[in-house]
Amino acid sequence: MQTVVQTNGLTKSYKNVRALDGIDLEVDSGEIFGLVGPEGSGRTTFVRILMGLLRPTSGRARVVGYNATEAAYQAHRLVGYVPHRPVLPPRLTTGEFLDRVASFRRTEVDTAWRRELIGLLELDTTERLGELSDPEILAVTLVSVLQKDPDLLIVDDLVESMGPLAWALPTIFGAQQSRGGAVLFTSGRFDECTELADRVALIDRGRLVAVDSLRNLRKKGRHRIELVFSRPVDQSVLASAPGVLGAMVQGTVGRVLVAGPVEPLLDVAHDHGVVDVVHHRSGPEELILDLAAQPRVAS
CA quadruple 205, 208, 209, 214: dihedral sign: positive
pTM of structure:
0.78
Residue 283, CB-side half-sphere exposure with 13 Å CA sphere? 2
Q: Contact, 265 vs 256, CB < 8 A?
A: yes
Task: With CA atoms as reference, report the closest residue to 213 among 228, 196, 236.
Answer: 196
In this chain, the answer to whether the domains covering 3-217 and 222-281 adopt an identical fold is no
State the Cα torsion 201-143-150-86 to the nearest 10°.
-60
Q: Count Cα atoms within 13 angstroms, Cβ side, for 267.
A: 9
The predicted pLDDT at position 105 comes to 63
Q: Which helix (H) or strand (E) holds 11?
A: strand 3-14
Closest CA to 139 of 126, 156, 152, 121: 121
Judged by DSSP in three states, 187 sits in strand
List the CATH code of the domain at 3-217: 3.40.50.300
pLDDT reported for residue 298 = 42
Q: Which residues contact 119 (CB under 8 A, 6 or more apart)?
A: none
Q: Per 3-state DSSP, what percentage of the chain is helix, strand, and coil (rounded to 5)?
A: 35, 30, 35
pLDDT for the residue numbered 246: 86
Which pLDDT score, from 0 to 100, does residue 293 have? 57
**Edge-to-edge strand list for the sheet holding 244-250:** 244-250, 253-259, 222-229, 274-280
> Containing H/E element for 285?
helix 284-292
CATH code linked to domain 222-281: 3.30.70.1560
Domain positions in the chain are 3-217, 222-281
* Amino acid at residue number 168: A
Give pLDDT tens digits along the chain (299 positions).
689 999 999 999 998 889 999 999 999 999 999 998 888 889 999 999 999 999 999 999 999 999 999 999 899 989 999 998 899 999 999 999 999 998 876 567 888 899 999 999 999 999 999 999 999 999 999 999 999 889 999 999 877 778 888 889 999 999 999 989 999 999 887 766 767 889 989 888 899 988 888 777 766 767 789 999 999 999 999 999 998 888 889 889 999 988 878 899 999 999 999 999 998 766 555 666 666 655 544 44
